[in-house]
Amino acid sequence: MFARVAADFQPNHDVLFLAANCDEDESLVTGYLAEDKPRTPVVFADGLDRFFTVNSFPTVMVIDRVGKIAYRSNGFEPDTFELNLAVAVRRALAPQGASSPAGNLAP
């Protein structure tokens, strides 16, 4: 889902993509990882879903340098997901007070 955006930002060491698995049974995670082979690190949610009030899957968040949620997407809109996520990451990386041109879509 967000693998292409994560790959675009991979050279940037200021960006980290994590997938949080919310299965209540941790023993199910190994099978999922073996079958799905995600390209980003996967962590067990272990309460993160409650902390961030995750009510739908997927829920995607961009957390900025100061720990503030800079972007949140509940659910998946295939036509706009990648573009919106890439723009949100760029915006979170920009120095405070700086604005990035909307047309510049390169990571």
The pTM of this model reads 0.78
Q: For residue 20, with 0-12 CB atoms within 10 Å meaning exposed, 13-18 middle and 19 or more buried, which class applies?
A: middle
Could you read off the pLDDT of 32-90 as tens digits, one per residue?
888 988 888 888 888 888 999 999 889 999 999 899 999 999 998 999 999 999 999 99
Question: Hey, where are the domains in the chain?
Answer: 3-93
CATH code for the domain defined by 3-93: 3.40.30.10
104 pLDDT more than 60: no
Q: According to DSSP H, which parts of the chain are helical?
A: 3-9, 27-36, 48-51, 81-93
